[in-house]
Amino acid sequence: MPRGSRNVAAGQVVEDTIQPTPALSERTLAVSCSKFIAAWGSRAWPPIVHKVLPHRRPGTVGSAPRERRLPPRGATGACNVKITVVGAGKYGSTTAQRIAEKGFADEVVMTDVIEGLPQGLALDMSQSRPIERFETKVTGSNDYGPTAGSDIVIVTAGKPRKPGMSRMDLLTDNAKIVGGVAREVAATSPDAVVIVVSNPLDEMTALFQRVSGFPTERVMGQAGMLDTARLADKVAERLGVSPLDVDAITLGSHGDTMVPVPSRVRVQGKPLTELLPAGDIAQLIQATRDGGAEIVSLLKTGSAYYAPSAAAARMAEAIATDEGAIMPVCAWVAGQYGLSGVYLGVPARLGRRGVQEIVELDLTDSELKDLRAAAEAVRGKQADVDSLV
Ligand SMILES: NC(=O)c1ccc[n+]([C@@H]2O[C@H](COP(=O)([O-])OP(=O)(O)OC[C@H]3O[C@@H](n4cnc5c(N)ncnc54)[C@H](O)[C@@H]3O)[C@@H](O)[C@H]2O)c1
């Protein structure tokens, strides 16, 4: 099939399959950061930009002739970015791996309190580079020295849920952990953009910002990308279509007051409300709200990390490449949607300075009411986090 001739849904970034022909040099195939940024600077809706990465043959190592080798992975080329992942547990290590393999950062540093864990994982990840075709430097450390000067910090440190627990049950323990991390990050990477993922998400994001003293636009939380992906996947399963054909969004909190937005869900461009009866949509929305608990109850120890790490890595990519993509994140609202002074899941444009803009969607009256209820539910809890550190 000729390059560029595939049918692609609006808003998708598509990399053409890279053919290792002698005629195409590695230099020709590399897409520079600046070209990528120029291409994406003006992109707007839909919020989640799916990256369709066709299957690639594993790279050959050793004696393969030079012209037969595949170029490194990484659609954008590395962007002179250093990323630290705090917490090298399931979420943290998988996020580090995804970022390293995507190839947009020069360096990924993992740090954790468990001696040897981040170092061992970093060595293991590094040794996959010749096979998986990426060049990102991956290191691990038990202190913050090697993380100094990071451009992006992803905070995954903290306890995950056990079956029967709500995210709020983690509040006291994780507040102490995230508060300590915020002090270390403020001292060692004072200019970083921070993505918090530790739960309870909305409260931990607010707490990190308060303890670090960072401007609100440089501290955000990951939840909406994950909840949106869960909703899109459930809609796709229900209708028997590709998940890449579904555009969805969820707003609000990462908890009981999550606000999936059915009026904005499109399947192959058609409104979901025209494809399913209201009762079926309500079931999908409830399943999305319960999506994390469903996985926790199956795993029995620990919580989800494949989809969550994909969400955090995608946010980091949008920040690192300054692409201006709009995605649902936990961000500080200051007047948008008639709400102020609270961290809440809203669509935001991301770039190298963090949250560049909060985007106001047209919501139905009932969706707007739910979003306002979510804001009030988390506002009080966020105000209380100061007493926990
Ligand atoms: N926001 C979301 O969408 C979302 C999704 C899934 C999980 N989570 C949350 O992410 C967090 C991590 O989940 P996980 O599955 O990786 O748990 P995990 O237990 O596998 O890993 C947590 C890691 O944090 C480390 N840690 C603890 N205190 C630390 C500190 N002070 N400094 C550095 N590291 C420290 C632990 O040693 C451990 O390795 C949990 O709070 C979980 O609830 C959030």
| Residue 214 scores a pLDDT above 60 | yes
Average pLDDT over every residue of 141-150: 98
> Mind listing the pLDDT tens digit for each residue in 269-291?
999 999 999 999 999 999 999 99
- CA pair distance 179, 181, nearest whole angstrom: 5
Phi, psi (rounded to 5 degrees) for 31: -105, 120
Pairing of β 82-86 and β 152-155: parallel
Domain definitions of the chain by residue range: 82-221, 224-388
Q: What's the pLDDT at 221?
A: 98
Report the 10 Å Cβ neighbour count for 162.
15
Q: Which superfamily is assigned to 82-221 in CATH?
A: NAD(P)-binding Rossmann-like Domain (3.40.50.720)
264 in helix, strand or coil?
Answer: helix
Q: Thinking of the domain 224-388, which architecture would CATH place it in?
A: Alpha-Beta Complex (3.90)
Phi, psi (rounded to 5 degrees) for 374: -60, -40
13 in helix, strand or coil?
Answer: strand
Residue 28, Cα to own-chain centre: how many angstroms? 30
Query: Ligand 1 in contact with 255 (CB < 6 A)?
Result: no
User: Can you say whether the dihedral through the CA atoms of 206, 211, 217, 218 is positive or negative?
Assistant: negative
Residues 6+ apart with CB under 8 A from 13: 40, 49, 50, 51, 52, 75
Average pLDDT over every residue of 129-148: 97
Higher pLDDT residue, 240 or 38? 240
With both helix axes pointing from N to C terminus, report the angle between 278-289 and 224-239 in degrees, rounded to the nearest 10: 140
Substitution site in 86, 204, 231, 303 for ligand 1 pocket (most atoms within 8 Å of beta carbon):
303
Average pLDDT over every residue of 295-304: 94
Which residue, among 339, 361, 363, 366, has the nearest Cα to 348 in the 3D structure? 361
Q: Read out DSSP for 121-156?
A: HHHHHHTTHHHHT---EEEEESSSGGGTT-SEEEE-
| Nearest atom in ligand 1 to 92's CA | 16
Report the 10 Å Cβ neighbour count for 51.
14
- Span of 15-24, 209-218, 343-352 with lowest mean pLDDT: 15-24
Q: Which of 254, 289, 349, 352 is catalytic?
A: 254
Respond yes or no: is residue 254 known to be catalytic: yes
Is residue 239 within 8 Å of 276, Cβ to Cβ?
yes
Q: Read out DSSP for 49-91?
A: --EE----PPPP-SSS-GGGSPPPS-SS---S-EEEEE--SHH
- Span of 21-25, 62-66, 181-185, 218-222 with lowest mean pLDDT: 21-25
Tell me the pLDDT band of 69, cut-offs 50, 70 and 90.
low
Token digits for 118? 């981040």
What mean pLDDT, rounded, does the chain reach? Answer: 84
- CA pair distance 87, 181, nearest whole angstrom: 10
Whole-number Å distance, alpha carbon 199 to ligand 1 midpoint, is: 8
Average pLDDT over every residue of 73-92: 85
Which residue, among 279, 249, 275, has the nearest Cα to 261 in the 3D structure? 249
Substitution site in 144, 165, 199 for ligand 1 pocket (most atoms within 8 Å of beta carbon):
199
Substitution site in 97, 109, 112, 258 for ligand 1 pocket (most atoms within 8 Å of beta carbon):
112
Whole-number Å distance, alpha carbon 306 to ligand 1 midpoint, is: 13
Instruction: Enter the pTM of the model.
Output: 0.85
Token digits for 100? 């390293």
Q: Read out DSSP for 327-338?
A: EEEEEEEESGGG
Token digits for 186? 């403020």
Query: Ligand 1 in contact with 157 (CB < 6 A)?
Result: yes
| Nearest atom in ligand 1 to 167's CA | 43
- CA pair distance 269, 367, nearest whole angstrom: 21
Q: Alpha helices, DSSP H only, in the chain? A: 26-29, 33-40, 90-102, 117-126, 129-132, 171-188, 201-212, 224-239, 278-289, 291-299, 306-320, 365-384
- CA pair distance 303, 172, nearest whole angstrom: 18
Higher pLDDT residue, 339 or 29? 339
- CA pair distance 66, 70, nearest whole angstrom: 9
| Residue 85 scores a pLDDT above 80 | yes
Query: Rg of the chain's alpha carbons, rounded to an integer?
Result: 21
Average pLDDT over every residue of 131-151: 97
